[in-house]
Amino acid sequence: MLPPGLWGAGLWMSRTMSWGVLEPRPPGKRWLVAGLGNPGLPGTRHSVGLAVLGQLARRLGVAESWARDRRCAADLALALLGDAQVVLLRPRRLMNANGRSVARAAELFGLTAEEVYLVHDELDKPLGKLALKLGGSARGHNGVRSCISCLNSSAMPRLRVGIGRPTHPEAVQAHVLGYFSPAEQELLPAVLELATDLLLNHIRERSQGQPMLGP
């Protein structure tokens, strides 16, 4: 039996929790939103993209509908946003290999790089600052670099969620892989709400044929 909320998404579920696309698909556009992070490390700064995906799933009413897809080594949840279908993806691979899951899911759902959103942490922005832009370089982010390599494109829209950069360069790795401080955790719910608003508004606009953001 399909999880709640998926009856209208045009999907079936097998015993191994694998998903397959059936026709007819929903009448509108289809988008994929991937939260980049490390599986098994929720709550760390490097996995803030996964936290945004969790909030997005709650807003779209599919928070209880995550299911594992072994073909792309990820958890998937599907939702409808108006006439558009939104595929939410949480890779089960480590950050440096997230692109393999994202590219495989894009292939399975028949999506181009321009139809794939990446949500990830950004060292060069303080917590609370967000930026949604089209394409560009990986800017040193290994998860984004993996996606660019596996999709063979840098055209994916990116939602960059600021996590701040420590003063000393040698502290960067510990900062990225560490958990948010108590003070940061107080700010985080509002950040996740704003990030979700930005994603939903942008997807709605593009689904209605409005132009994308510039690079």
pLDDT for 10 equals 37
The residue from 46, 120, 141, 202 that is catalytic is 46
**DSSP notation for the chain:** -PPTT-GGGTEEE-TT--EEE-SSPPSS-EEEEEE---TT-TTBGGGHHHHHHHHHHHHTT-TT--EEETTTTEEEEEEEETTEEEEEEEESS-GGGHHHHHHHHHHHTT--GGGEEEEEEETTS-TT-EEEEE----TT-HHHHHHHHHHT-S--EEEEEE----SSGGGHHHHHHSBPPHHHHHHHHHHHHHHHHHHHHHHHHHHTTPPPPP-
pLDDT in tens for each of the 215 residues of the chain? 333 333 333 343 333 344 444 334 555 699 999 999 999 888 999 999 999 999 999 999 999 999 999 999 999 999 999 999 999 999 999 999 999 999 999 999 999 999 999 999 999 999 889 999 888 888 889 999 999 999 999 999 999 999 999 888 888 999 999 999 999 999 999 999 999 999 999 999 999 886 555 44
pLDDT for 198 equals 96
Q: What is the pTM of this model?
A: 0.86
Among this protein's residues, is 46 annotated catalytic?
yes
pLDDT for 2 equals 36
pLDDT for 140 equals 83
